[in-house]
Amino acid sequence: PPPPQWFLDEMKALNANFPPEEKIQQLIKQIQSRIGDLLPFDDVCKISDEDMIKRFLIHWKWDVTVAESKVRTWVALRAKHNLNAAPFSPVPALLRQVAPGGFCGVDLIGRPVYYDQFIVKHFLDHKTGIAADLEGFTNAFLYRGELWRMNSKHHMGVTVSIINVAGLSMTAFAHIHFVNAVKRMGTVLGDAQPELTAQTFVINCPASIAAINTIFKSVMPARFSAKLKLLGSDYMPTLQKYIHKSQLPKEIGGDATLRLAPFPRPEPEGSNKTVEIMSV
């Protein structure tokens, strides 16, 4: 069935501060005129150069100077981490340890849904957790982001995220290692993969949801915070307003099985091998 009107109104409200489309196209062309040395972008996951520039403009509040700077940073980052190879590479071990998950389906308007289970000990242990390897953590989430981008390329271009934080206490949320990890995720989203998430649901939050919201807003980009919904243990009614039960993972009461690649992916250029659909 078509999505309910309240759903469409909610999405429209999120983009209420967008300038007119004619102005947006002018801003895109303005940046294109400044970065001719970088075009076309070497990015296997892009929808188009124009779409990528628009994402940076949205994330950085239509500031052409900042957006141009971030685009240049992004191009350098892609080359440094060889991100074109990421969607076709094995899952980083750290990602399996810290936040195992996968795609489970689509939401009411066809946007891919990805589920993560945050493993508490890997966020908090200063010897074996992400605090001991923030660079590795960054690389792991860059991989996840490229996987999202590849799988959403022909499906709305954005991903809906469900993050299960069961077992994470209020003390853990305020822990410096967790805060640093969330801050690093925000940096990855802003510098490398802007406008990648359509919505993020954090489920099984401790009782002090307002306090958790304050923590997230203090370290995450404002645009991301606006798309964030924090839910307690009674999360299913809210999730099912946006995502049918058949498209939610079995791990949280749905019917779907997690997969890394639910949608067709192109093979690596020059390869005769078939890209497998892997289970996490």
Per cent of the chain over pLDDT 90 is 39
The pLDDT of residue 262: 57
CA distance 18 to 195: 14
The pLDDT of residue 75: 95
The pLDDT of residue 95: 80
pLDDT band at 266 (very low <50, low <70, confident <90, very high): very low
Query: Each residue of 60-78: pLDDT tens digit?
Result: 999 999 999 999 999 998 9
Per cent of the chain over pLDDT 70 is 84
Q: In this structure, what are the phi and psi dihedrals at residue 43, rounded to the nearest 5 degrees?
A: -150, 110
The pLDDT of residue 151: 84
The region of weakest confidence among 66-70, 144-148, 169-173, 245-249 is 169-173
The pTM score is 0.86
The pLDDT of residue 250: 94
The pLDDT of residue 89: 84
Average pLDDT of span 191-200: 88
* Choice between 56 and 109, residue whose per-residue pLDDT is larger: 56
Greatest mean pLDDT range, 20-34, 165-179, 216-230? 20-34
pLDDT of 184 > 90? The answer is no
Q: Which residue's structure tokens are 């792991």?
A: 140
CA distance 117 to 99: 5
Average pLDDT of span 191-204: 90
Average pLDDT of span 133-139: 75
pLDDT of 190 > 90? The answer is no
CA distance 187 to 207: 27
The pLDDT of residue 271: 37
The pLDDT of residue 109: 86
pLDDT of 166 > 60? The answer is yes
pLDDT of 23 > 70? The answer is yes
* Choice between 125 and 35, residue whose per-residue pLDDT is larger: 35
pLDDT of 25 > 90? The answer is yes
The pLDDT of residue 239: 96
* Choice between 266 and 6, residue whose per-residue pLDDT is larger: 6
The pLDDT of residue 12: 87
Query: Each residue of 201-254: pLDDT tens digit?
Result: 999 988 777 777 787 777 777 788 888 899 999 999 999 999 999 999 999 999
Average pLDDT, the chain: 83
